[in-house]
Amino acid sequence: MTARSLLADRGKVTEDAPLAPLTTYRFGGRARFLVVADGEEDLGLASRLAADEGVPILVLGRGSNVVVSDSGFDGVVIRPGPGMTGWQGREDGSIVAGAGTALPMLARESARAGRGGLEFFTGIPGSVGGAVRMNAGCHGSETADWMVTARVFDLADAVARDRTPADLEMSYRHSNLTDGDFVVSATFRTVERDPAEADAVIREITRWRREHQPGGTLNAGSVFKNPPGDSAGRIIDDAGLKGLRVGAAEVSRRHANFFVAGEGATAQDVHDLVAEVRRRVLEQTGIALATEIRFVGEFTR
């Protein structure tokens, strides 16, 4: 049997699947195939499907760091399903969380269980898999600080290996993971912490975010990485670019490194706004900003 029919029998594959609902920007086109994988066997089949069809693979988490092209993704998108979602505490105090686990939920639930350290995840609306790939972080912590290992499935040779932050060369918003790697789960160390104390940290992070970030808008978090020792938001603000628009995409007036999608905004609008901001910042300051958000699929210019 082909990988396609095996996945279809298991109810794991959708053809011509809309991607917009799977991203925080809520725009973008469709995927030729969407596979919701519940374990390593499904990952192997998804990888075979891509090889059989001669198309590329995109691994998607909660879509909070991506801009999917309006023409979609002509390949196989693989997302973690319920079988790769959820977490368990171990006796040694560590936590193992599946790739699809939502970071804010992991923060709250582990804190409630008296396991501290992961509170910073509360403000990051991604998944564990996305956090490992991006080395997501905020409020003085990043994923690599608390991660012991990640189980990484190599989609080319269908083998999973446990990798440390050093193996993955995790640094500021970076790891050496590629589209050929699927993070199945990650193990985090934690520290004993009074749940009330952890809850206070979570509340403070939530308060800070409400005050400083454009809540209630469609965005994908920070557009650009912070240059060493500086802040991309400050640079864009100083360049006078808050409120700059292309189509229905706008540089947030609240936080200049968040680009928000208004009614009817397209992925191309955000793409062009990013290019325009980068061009103006370079012209005015000589600083070449590097994007943190990831563009998926095809864009013009």
Ligand X SMILES: Cc1cc2nc3c(=O)[nH]c(=O)nc-3n(C[C@H](O)[C@H](O)[C@H](O)COP(=O)(O)OP(=O)(O)OC[C@H]3O[C@@H](n4cnc5c(N)ncnc54)[C@H](O)[C@@H]3O)c2cc1C
C-alpha–C-alpha distance, residues 147 and 90, integer Å: 14
The smaller minimum CB distance to ligand X, of residues 102 and 239, is found at 102
Is 183 an interacting residue with respect to ligand X (CB under 6 A)? Answer: yes
Is 109 an interacting residue with respect to ligand X (CB under 6 A)? Answer: no
Catalytic annotation on 254? no
With CA atoms as reference, report the closest residue to 183 among 87, 22, 61, 83: 61
Catalytic annotation on 173? yes
The smaller minimum CB distance to ligand X, of residues 98 and 239, is found at 98
User: Which of 134, 155, 246, 265 lies at the binding interface for ligand X (CB under 6 A)?
Assistant: 134
Q: HEC string of 175-208?
A: CCCCCCEEEEEEEECCEECCHHHHHHHHHHHHHH
Is 63 an interacting residue with respect to ligand X (CB under 6 A)? Answer: yes
C-alpha–C-alpha distance, residues 61 and 155, integer Å: 16
Is 244 an interacting residue with respect to ligand X (CB under 6 A)? Answer: no
- Helices (DSSP H) in 165-297: which residue ranges? 195-212, 232-238, 267-285
Is 72 an interacting residue with respect to ligand X (CB under 6 A)? Answer: no
CB of 63 to ligand X, least distance (A): 4
Is 37 an interacting residue with respect to ligand X (CB under 6 A)? Answer: no
Is residue 292 within 8 Å of 225, Cβ to Cβ?
yes
Q: How far lies 174's CA from each of 15, 81, 171, 178, in Å?
A: 31, 24, 5, 11
CB of 268 to ligand X, least distance (A): 19
Which single residue is written with the structure tokens 């191309």? 268
Cβ-based neighbours of 130, under 8 Å, separated by 6 or more: 61, 62, 64, 65, 136
Is 124 an interacting residue with respect to ligand X (CB under 6 A)? Answer: yes
Q: How far is CA 280 from the centre of its chain?
A: 27
Q: One of 32, 173, 193, 278 is an active-site residue; which one?
A: 173
CB of 252 to ligand X, least distance (A): 10
Burial of 163 (0-12, 13-18, 19+ CB in 10 A): buried
CB of 293 to ligand X, least distance (A): 8
Is 144 an interacting residue with respect to ligand X (CB under 6 A)? Answer: no
The smaller minimum CB distance to ligand X, of residues 99 and 235, is found at 99
| DSSP E strands, 19-61 | 30-37, 57-59
CB of 185 to ligand X, least distance (A): 9
Q: One of 64, 185, 222, 252 is an active-site residue; which one?
A: 222
Which range binds ligand X by CB under 6 A, 11-19, 32-40, 124-132, 159-167? 124-132
Is 126 an interacting residue with respect to ligand X (CB under 6 A)? Answer: yes
Catalytic annotation on 41? no
Q: Which residues contact ligand X (rule: CB under 6 A)?
A: 24, 59-66, 80, 99, 123-127, 129-131, 133-134, 136-138, 177, 181-183, 219-221, 294
Which active-site residues does the annotation give? Answer: 173, 222, 292
